[in-house]
Amino acid sequence: MRYRLLSALIISAVAVVEAAPAAAATYDYIVVGSGPGGGPLAADLARAGYSTLLIEAGGDEGDNPTYSEIAYFNEAANDEATRWDFWVKHYDDPEEDRKFAHTTWDTGDGTFYVGLDPPEGAKYLGIQYPRAAVLGGCAMHNAAVCSLPAEDDWNIIVNKTGDTSWSASNMRQYLKKIERNQYLPPGDPNRGYDGWLATSVGPTDWARNNSNPATTILKKLAALTGQDETRAADLLGSDILTEIPNLDETSSFYNLAQHADNTGKRNSPNNYVRATLADPAKYPLTLKLHTLVTRVLFDESTVGVEGVEPRAIGVEIMEGQSLYKADPKHRGQTSPKSQILAAREVIVSGGAFNSPQILKLSGIGPKDELAKFNIPLVKHLPGVGENLGDNYEGSLLAMGQTPVQSGLITAVFRTPNAPDARRNIFTWCGAFSFEGFWPGFPTWHGAEQYTCALVHMQPKSQAGSVTLRSADPQDVPDINFRFFQNQGDQDLEELVEGANILREAMNAVPEPVAPFIERHPCEGDRRAEGDCGVEVQKEYFKSQAYSHHATSTCAIGGKDEEMAVLDSKFRVHGVRGLRVVDASAFPVVPGAFPSCPTMMISVKAAEDIIAERKKEEAEAKKL
Ligand SMILES: Cc1cc2nc3c(=O)[nH]c(=O)nc-3n(C[C@H](O)[C@H](O)[C@H](O)COP(=O)(O)OP(=O)(O)OC[C@H]3O[C@@H](n4cnc5c(N)ncnc54)[C@H](O)[C@@H]3O)c2cc1C
Ligand SMILES: *[C@@H]1O[C@H](CO)[C@@H](O)[C@H](O)[C@H]1NC(C)=O
Ligand SMILES: *[C@@H]1O[C@H](CO)[C@@H](O)[C@H](O)[C@H]1NC(C)=O
């Protein structure tokens, strides 16, 4: 397959921006990145009365229907207006990566080649991992699925740091604080109805129709996951954001919740930041778009001094569009660097790839890696860029004899040989295809396509890394997920168990849809011929797994943990005036979907920072 590589729009002469003179600090706080990590935090700091500068590499597409209408999420993730292409590795061994059916190559004639048989002379790029550089970050091109981590995913932070504010029971208040629930009857004391993040759900009534072929799949899946099949349609209406005892051990259907309102409009930090800017109260928030932060600045007199913790005092920036080389519109644009100072703190929220890159470019990271690129060391922190984790994802795709007209089946369930009592697979099934990411994804296989997509919720490896390729801030770092490196066999087995359960459910489908002809993992009749056992399917998931929820590259951890980057208040260990608040902070992958959890920690961080500030102000008054 060939896809358009470059936009038809040729960017004319590169604008050179005059360097602004370094001035005295005009802001208390500088927040770098406006995604789920940075956006809500910047808005909340400003709403508390503190002057805050929010810097975002991309522009604002909040009024562009491709982004504001949730139905177009695939178009949004493909859109050159905001796309940053990271060409990632899944394995150290390039041969392993080249088994991925959607590896991508640059043909040199302005097109991508996607597949296993590239034309002569094509340059290998890797596996596409899209990110959104735009006000609102990846919450502007994602599918907006909103779900919460397992309780242990929060509680592990309490264990590591002793900070009980991270307990699962305490963290729930942050969902309540931001949520504007549009689907429950009003009055649930545990839920929010007037926050800035609309949550809504889709229709499930189709499942009450017993003649609908998908209803048979639903009932079979109920039986296979220990649910009451006679109540399957009711169970499908279960609220995925609710709190019940033993939730993490309960296999259940759910109605997929999204951070969108019930008219289909996407909701994200974009809305909250723009509402904060437009508010008649004139909160002291300044938004600087199309600006790439190239490093954090430190007070030189605090660097390299025995017994003194280096203090962050601002950021260095480049102004202009498409400066980062992950931007498909990048054509060698550059601009002079200038500086902006923060009186109080710099908060880095560039996401799981860019936050560790920014830290390393600023001299915070593994000392050998920094020395290799002549980056002056500010603080040796070997964990920066390590511990990269992500949900393993894969899918069962089959073609029916006729289209399956139905809504979604969403379920979270435990596979029989999972290592503990917790559920491990999140799935959603429907008449769509989802096979990962590549330029131009997804493939339309025809109206008869039916997919059950799987998300492994507790990937055990987290052996990935984000490492510098150079000291050039416009360069894209090297990203290697090292899928399945630790306890991979166990995770692969769990994926196969999940796939086997879902296949059995799918194959219960009646005529006229039946029989389903499977495309993958078990192509055609392989299974009938006894040729698609556990090992064959494990090999399938090993080579074809994909991911798009990267986290944990600047992980919170205890003081004695060598690989910890942040303390429980998001402060970078060993320096002052610097925090990281985004998906990089989670020590373990937070459940099946990180978007809502990241917004929750963003408002938690704002609360922490404001509380510290108020305490200082009270103490200053006493003196
Ligand atoms: C295609 C896709 C679909 C997804 N679907 C879902 C889903 O349905 N549900 C879900 O829960 N999660 C989903 N996710 C994941 C989720 O969106 C992310 O986990 C979440 O957005 C992470 O938030 P963040 O703030 O850590 O980073 P990001 O959202 O990546 O935000 C980082 C921001 O920082 C900016 N930035 C980075 N570097 C710099 C710099 N040097 N200078 C200035 N600005 C900078 C970026 O432009 C970006 O706007 C999806 C992700 C993708 C890619
Ligand atoms: C936290 O520590 C307690 C006590 O050691 C232990 O029982 C529990 O399993 C730990 N929880 C997590 C999530 O690590
Ligand atoms: C129930 O499903 C069948 C099969 O898809 C369809 O023909 C019929 O119209 C549906 N009934 C209702 C009331 O939607």
Residue 433 shares a structural domain with residue 289: no
What domain range is 27 assigned to? 23-81+266-383+552-622
* pLDDT score, position 21: 44
Q: For tokens 């860019």, what's the residue?
A: 354
Specify the pLDDT at position 524.
80
For residues 378 and 427, membership in a common domain is answered with no
The domain spanning residue 62 has which CATH number? 3.50.50.60
* Same-domain pairing of 234 and 366: no
Query: Using CA atoms, how far apart are residues 376 and 107, in angstroms rounded to an integer?
Result: 38
In this predicted structure, what is the pLDDT of residue 15? 33
Q: Whole-prediction pTM value?
A: 0.96
Residues paired with residue 286 on neighbouring β-strands, in sequence order:
53
Tally of residues, the chain:
623
Report the relative pairing of strands 179-181 and 197-201 from DSSP bridges.
parallel
How do residues 213-235 score in pLDDT, each as one tens digit?
999 999 999 999 999 999 999 99
Q: What type of residue is 419? A: P
564, pLDDT greater than 70: yes
Judgement on whether residues 283 and 374 belong to the same structural domain of the protein: yes
CB of 47 within 8 A of CB of 120?
Answer: no
Q: Please tell me whether residue 544 adopts helix, strand or coil conformation.
A: helix
Its sign, for the CA torsion 604, 607, 611, 612, is positive
CATH number at residue 528: 3.30.410.40
Q: Which residues pair with 180 in a beta bridge?
A: 198
Report pLDDT for 17. Answer: 34
Domain boundary among 498, 516, 544: 544
Interval 327-349 mean pLDDT: 97
**What is the number of alpha carbons within 13 Å of residue 331 lying toward its C-beta?**
12
Model confidence at 468, pLDDT cuts 50, 70, 90, reads very high
Contact at 8 Å (CB) between 88 and 478?
Answer: no
Tell me whether residue 121 is in a domain: no
Q: Which of the four pLDDT bands, split at 50, 70 and 90, describes residue 1?
A: very low
Mean pLDDT on 112-125: 96
Instruction: Examine the domain organization and report whether 409 and 507 are in the same domain.
Output: yes
Number of the ligand 1 atom closest to the C-alpha atom of 55:
43
Average pLDDT over residues 405-428: 96
**How many structural domains is the chain composed of?**
2
Residues 373, 403, single domain; the answer is no
For 304-317, what is each residue's pLDDT tens digit?
Answer: 999 999 999 999 99
Residue 481, helix vs strand vs coil: coil
- Ligand 1 centroid to Cα of residue 422, in Å, is 27
Q: Is the pLDDT of residue 24 over 80?
A: no
Distance 279 CA to ligand 3 centre (A): 48
Determine how many CB atoms are found less than 10 A away from the CB of residue 619. 9
How do residues 255-293 score in pLDDT, each as one tens digit? 999 999 999 999 999 999 999 999 999 999 999 999 999
pLDDT at res. 483: 98
Compute, in angstroms, the gap from residue 567 CA to the centroid of ligand 2: 18
In a domain, 51, yes or no: yes
- 293 annotated among ligand-binding-site residues: yes
Q: 206 to each of 218, 223, 236, 409, 621, how far by Cα in Å?
A: 11, 19, 10, 10, 63
Q: Which atom of ligand 1 is nearest to the CA of 38?
A: 25
- pLDDT over threshold 60, residue 19: no
Q: What ligand 2 atom has the least distance to the C-alpha of 153?
A: 13
- Residue 457 makes CB contacts below 8 A (sequence gap 6+) with 150, 391, 412, 423, 424, 425, 426, 589, 591, 592
Predicted confidence at residue 605, as pLDDT, reads 99
Shortest CA distance to 83 belongs to which of 322, 389, 258? 322
Question: In this structure, are 239 and 283 located in the same domain?
Answer: no
Tell me: do 350 and 415 sit in the same domain: no
pLDDT recorded at residue 208: 96
411 and 533 both lie in a single domain: yes
pLDDT value of residue 110: 87
- State yes or no: pLDDT of 139 exceeds 60: yes
Return the pLDDT at 526. Answer: 65
- pLDDT score, position 433: 96
| Residue 536 assigned ligand-binding role | no
Q: Per 3-state DSSP, what percentage of the chain is helix, strand, and coil (rounded to 5)?
A: 30, 25, 50
Dihedral angle of Cα 173, 177, 178, 180, to the nearest 10 degrees:
110
